[in-house]
Homo-oligomer: A and B are copies of this chain.
Amino acid sequence: MPKLAKTAKPNIFYAQSGGVTAVINATACGVIETARKHKAKIGTVYAGRNGIIGALTEDLIDTSKEPAAAIAALRYTPAGAFGSCRYKLKSLEENRAQYERLIEVFAAHNIGYFLYNGGGDSQDTAHKVSQLSHQLGYPLKCIGIPKTVDNDLPITDTCPGFGSVAKYVAVSIREAGLDVASMAATSTKVFIMEVMGRHAGWIAAAGGLAAEKADEAPHIILFPEIPFHEENFLKRVDECVKKFGYCAIVVSEGVRNADGRFLSETGLKDAFGHSQLGGVAPTIAQLIKSKLNYKYHWAVADYLQRAARHIAAKTDVEQAYAVGKAAVEFALAGKDAVMPVIVRKPGKNYRWSIGEVALADVANKEKHMPRNFITKDGFHITTACRNYLQPLISGEDYPPYKNGLPQYVVLKNVAVRKKLKTKFKV
């Protein structure tokens, strides 16, 4: 049975998982800075190179090699400073060896705390690692840390990463909307901006914040939660152009037809006749051109939206840091199989605090948009949605600039010497 060394202070293993965000490094900053403040109880924070794969392959990064200034710079650096991965561990029954390998590596490096920073899948993994460590009698505290631009984790009021994408989308459609309004007399009448959100419309909904009045962009939002109805949609586009002179649309990549097919798969074909994925905006643009004959422009924000640290929301940055800090504090308090969450306090002015939830309650659950957050006609957000979303994009938190460019940090990412003879194939 693997054991923690009696003589040394336990180390932390921290890994970033899944799609990265503008503020996941702010969480890493919270983890590392907080751990450094508790040197009496915590050894070193090791990070997984490319997420959990770094643990499986014993490819650990020694964050103690980074000076305080570099760690502080993580607070304003987007993306995953240690690398992330899209790698979902199988179930314990299917591949127990994966979990045992994690424990083997943790034991070899005297890791007493496992902090896993990701979405629903990652919380599930953290939960299973906790269960297996108990079974094996290995003393490990597993703390999940929420992160996802999709905002689809349950229980927590919001997910770090979402607020900054939300701000990017709202700012961008406001700006592009003004542009289209300027051009509409003789040129572009319809503008379509595609945003992320394969299953939930939270990001698209955030675009709606830009429309503080009925005539402001966006005029139409297409949600994955609302089946696309071509006729109603075209009617609404036409009405907007006639009423406001132009029509600005935010469309979620996850919009589906009534038969459940992604709209992005129904339109474009490449030169070989294959469906072109990831382009619902051009599909919609083409539909509008062929049926209404309006001149269009379209944009696909893709990674730009989730990497846009230059326009991150201050609230989001603070919450991302806070969940990292809380994770270390939870671990030190001896908690296990829990995740810090954002709790919205009651009252008119937005205030929040950090709460705690059992991983068993968050693993593999998705939070969709409530129907009452979408207007009856399915094309916009309601006041309830606006009240929920608005505080999440509040505040600016600009990175430092040099020569006109944001000065993001790239860490040295010094590898920890391997201790195991065994290799592990992922």
Contact = CB atoms under 8 A, between A and B. Distances in A.
B179 A78 contact: yes
A311 interface: yes
Nearest to A52: B186
A87 B193 CA distance: 26
Contacts of A297: 278, 302-303
Interface string A166-178: 0100111011101
Contact of A85 (B87, B187, B278): B187
Contacts of A391: 404
Contact of A183 (B22, B84, B272): B84
A267 B274 CA distance: 11
Interface in A257-289: 266-272, 274, 276, 278-279, 281-282, 286
Size category of the binding interface on chain A: 35 or more
**In the complex this chain forms, how many copies of it are found?**
2
Contacts of A274: 286
Interface stretch (A108-116, A132-140, A197-205, A393-401): A393-401
A23 to B, nearest CB: 12
A258 B163 CA distance: 45
Given A182-B79, A209-B405, A187 B269 contact: no
Interface of A: 16, 19-20, 22, 50-51, 53, 77-81, 83-87, 167, 170-172, 174-176, 178-188, 191, 193, 209-210, 212, 266-272, 274, 276, 278-279, 281-282, 286, 290, 297-304, 306-311, 313, 390-396, 398, 401, 403-406, 408
Given A79-B181, A272-B290, A394-B404, 11 more contacts: A80-B182, A85-B185, A171-B406, A172-B304, A174-B408, A175-B408, A193-B304, A212-B405, A266-B271, A268-B276, A392-B404
